[in-house]
Amino acid sequence: MLPLFTRSIKFIIGAGFIFVLLLALIGTVTTLIKEPAQPTAEEEFHKHPKELDLASNGPLGKFDNAQLQRGFLVYEKVCASCHSLNLVSFRDLQQLGYNEAEVKKIAKDWPIKQPVQDPKAGTWGERDNLASDRFPKVYYPGTGSPPDLSLIAKARHDGAAYVHSLLTGYQNQPAELLKKFPTAKTPDGSYYNPYFANLNIAMPPPLTSENQVTYSDGTRATVDQMAKDVSAFLVWTAEPTLQTRHRAGVAVVLFLLFATALAYGAYLTVWRGVKH
């Protein structure tokens, strides 16, 4: 008798628990139907990156060294004062077509020097960069540092397209946004950019005018062109072995096709004349 009573109690408790869950589910669904969740300003006005056509795109893509050198110039003249490139060595620039002497000069003339410590005095000093050094870190004492750009093209969805869209996407807040979301006004010290996650970014527009840098190959340095070039350069910093990986992938595919043809030929030879 007691076991039966115990089982009945368990059944009643379980049924009651399921009933409560069903009521909660029905209430939630009913609320969502009557009062659907309203999109936030970020959800409604955030834009996905624009498509960006680079030579490195696709499984057969390869780097355009002329563009990478232009992109490095944009980084050097515009971005380097705020953003580090600490996973890249100066000597890696030889992959872009710079010779050894040019790399040594770039390293020596770089405005941020390498910190060194005097073991005897226990004080810190500076020395010129060597070709074997990585690009020195940029520090902002007390406020932190802007993100390092070494891997930014891999760390962000759509990589180079995101960088290009962000750099060219600064604009005034749309009147429609302020009308629908009055409290979403861009705060002082920030800038509206629909390609940034929360629409407002602390970084001022870095590319503001044509010919902000001077390209030695005669390419017209428009804002769009500079953004495109530096985006291509950051693809290289994030994956300098991209061309090697692409070549290896093509070689593997060709080998597999060849091996498949050989295997099929062997199959026909072995089973030739055998009746099924």
14 pLDDT higher than 90: no
What's the rounded mean pLDDT across residues 137-151? 81
Cβ atoms < 10 Å from Cβ of 101: 9
In single-letter form, the type of residue at position 175 comes to A
pTM of the predicted structure, to 2 decimals: 0.82
Q: With 80 as the cut, is the pLDDT of residue 4 above it?
A: no
pLDDT score at 87: 95
pLDDT band, residue 6 (cuts 50/70/90): low
Q: Does 11 score more than 80 pLDDT?
A: no
The CATH class of the 43-88+147-244 domain is mainly alpha
pLDDT value for 120: 73
- The CA–CA distances, whole Å, from 163 to 44, 132, 151, 227, 241 equal 21, 28, 12, 8, 20
Whether residue 128 is predicted with pLDDT greater than 90 in this model: the reply is: yes
Q: Is 245 exposed, middle or buried (0-12, 13-18, 19+ CB in 10 A)?
A: exposed
pLDDT bracket for residue 259 (50, 70, 90):
very high
Residue labelled with tokens 């030929």: 265
Pairing of strands 200-201, 191-192: antiparallel
> In terms of pLDDT, which residue wins out, 6 or 135?
135
What is the percent of the chain with per-residue pLDDT over 70, rounded to a whole number?
93
Known binding residues = 79, 82-83, 203
Q: Which DSSP category does 150 fall into?
A: T
Q: Which residues are annotated as a binding site for heme c?
A: 79, 82-83, 203
Mean pLDDT is highest, among 153-157, 197-201, 231-235, for 231-235
Whole-angstrom distance, CA of residue 135 vs CA of residue 114: 9
DSSP codes, 78-139: IITTT---TT-BGGGGGGGT--HHHHHHHHHH-SSPEEEEETTTTEEEEE---TTSBPPPP-
pLDDT the model gives residue 3:
63
**Structure confidence at residue 144 (pLDDT):** 63
* Mean pLDDT rounded to a whole number for the chain: 89
Give residue limits of the domains in the chain.
43-88+147-244
pLDDT at 48: 95
CA 167, 213, 150, 81 dihedral sign is negative
For helices 159-168 and 223-238, give the axis angle rounded to 10 degrees: 150
* pLDDT tier at 141, thresholds 50, 70, 90: low
Span 187-203, pLDDT tens digits: 999 999 999 999 999 99
> Residue 118: pLDDT band by 50, 70, 90 thresholds?
confident
Q: pLDDT band at residue 25, thresholds of 50, 70 and 90?
A: confident
pLDDT digits (tens, 9 = 90+) for 61-107: 999 999 999 999 999 999 999 999 999 999 999 999 999 999 999 99
